[in-house]
Amino acid sequence: MEVGTANLKPEALVPLISDSAFQAIMVLPSYRLNALGFLTGSELAAEASAYGEATGNMGFWDQRAALQWTHENISCFSGNPGNITVAGYSAGAYSAFQQLAHELWRLPTEKAIIRRVAMFSNSPGVKPKALEDQQEQFDEFLTRLGIAKDLEDKVKLTKLRALPYERLIEVQSEMEISEFRVFADDLFYPKDLIDRINDGQFARRMKSRGITLINGECKDEHTMYRRWRTPEDSYGAVYERLYAEFAPTVVRALMHHYCGPAKKLPTGYTSWQEFFGRLYAGIQVHNVQRGFHNALFEGGLQPGKDVLRYRFERRLGCVEERIPSEWGVTHLTDIPIWLWGSDFAGGLTNQEKEWLKGWNECFAAFINGTQVSWGSTKPKEVRRWGSDGETDIWEDSMWEEGIAFWKIVNSGSAKANSTGLSGR
């Protein structure tokens, strides 16, 4: 939700559509990012409330408008409005989840659009910030733009809107609370969403609407994640970096759990930056994903049928063009697997196409809404592309760790919300 574009080179998807089993229409909508898409504060909330409008989450509302447009117009392009899949990678996967959650809780079945969801290398995340948490970021944003906090609300917003959009983007690189994320507004994002995942309602609503999910990971997600606004090598720097992105209760619970009251670097790590990369990847992908899957299975969804879990432990040769080999099978390295080469020079080799033929056929069946022969039948089983190039069903050795992590950040218990330091 911070950077990126939906635009691809015109030829980027040609291999997927012409040289694979995948046959579908792809719609790639853009939406507002960072502060332009997710800035929230009490001043904006009061103004929106006065007009009966929502505040924050503008990027999600943009996506929703694009989704509705697609549903209403895709038949003009020979598409089927009753067979729509929402898919995304990284922040896009998080957005796909948010769109599904919005439909399940804010739209009746007869108005639902989404039939399937593909969440590549991300998860539902953790409990988002409330308005009082968002306010600290809003105040910093205005202060760095030269707008005094003691002005009347209307004056603040007038001055803010008078600034060129370039300045609104540039100032973000200077900020301490630098990440702009979802706001628990109870309009787009249901405030009790995590509780509804935990008590099984989310799974039951997915089941009742016949929604299937693909969700998984790359083996070395952390090597890329540790490079996203890497903190200095100290406890305080890691704490502040996480505080810039996640709710204070989540940050306190995690840092207390791993570092204890003495704030020591956990055993097994050589630096705070290495610890940050692993922890951040756990929050974004590995651990929270497993907690989510566990809740879905306990709520009645079937592994290998309703929820298709995957893991990649090998990377394509063409990935070397952009991502150093020493980073391993990291975040983003599987994009040309799903998109059959995408716009990577050289694309897939013949050997790689042979190895991945079954994956492509499963993905095509998933998109088409037909039966997928995924291979897994138990919650801990994951379809895996192994380091030797072969596909197998892997018994997840990280399953219990992920469930425990989920309980720390998303259980709603008093313990999870009260451990560690108060405030920052």
88-131 pLDDT per residue, tens: 999 999 999 999 999 999 999 999 999 999 999 999 999 999 99
DSSP H helices in 369-423: 399-410, 414-418
**The predicted structure's pLDDT at residue 420:** 33
**DSSP readout, 70-127?**
HHHHGGGGT--TTSEEEEEETHHHHHHHHHHHHHHHHS-GGG--EEEEEEES----SP
Tell me how many domains the chain contains.
Answer: 1
Catalytic position from the list 20, 90, 95, 342:
90
Q: Is the overall model pTM greater than 0.75, yes or no? A: yes
Identify whether 205 is part of a domain. yes
Starting at the earlier edge strand, list the strands of the sheet with 114-120.
Answer: 84-89, 114-120, 212-218, 307-312, 381-385, 391-395
Give the CATH number of the domain where residue 315 resides: 3.40.50.1820
DSSP E strands, 288-416? 307-312, 381-385, 391-395
Statement: residue 265 has pLDDT above 80: yes
Identify whether 5 is part of a domain. no
Whose CA is closest to 163, among 145, 179, 148? 145
**The predicted structure's pLDDT at residue 8:** 84
Identify whether 423 is part of a domain. no
In terms of C-beta density within 10 A (0-12 exposed, 13-18 middle, 19 or more buried), how is residue 146 classed?
exposed
37-62 pLDDT per residue, tens: 999 999 999 999 999 999 999 999 99
Residue span of the structural domain in which 259 resides: 14-418
Check if 234 is active-site.
no
139-179 pLDDT per residue, tens: 999 999 999 999 999 999 999 999 999 999 999 999 999 99
Identify whether 173 is part of a domain. yes
pLDDT tier, 326 (very low <50, low <70, confident <90, very high otherwise): very high
333-391 pLDDT per residue, tens: 999 999 999 989 889 999 999 999 999 999 999 999 999 999 999 999 999 999 999 99
**The predicted structure's pLDDT at residue 281:** 98
Written as six digits, the tokens of 171 are 């100032």
DSSP H helices in 145-247: 153-162, 165-170, 193-198, 201-208, 221-225, 235-243
Identify whether 18 is part of a domain. yes
Identify whether 27 is part of a domain. yes
Statement: residue 215 has pLDDT above 80: yes
Identify whether 1 is part of a domain. no
**The predicted structure's pLDDT at residue 4:** 80
Identify whether 145 is part of a domain. yes
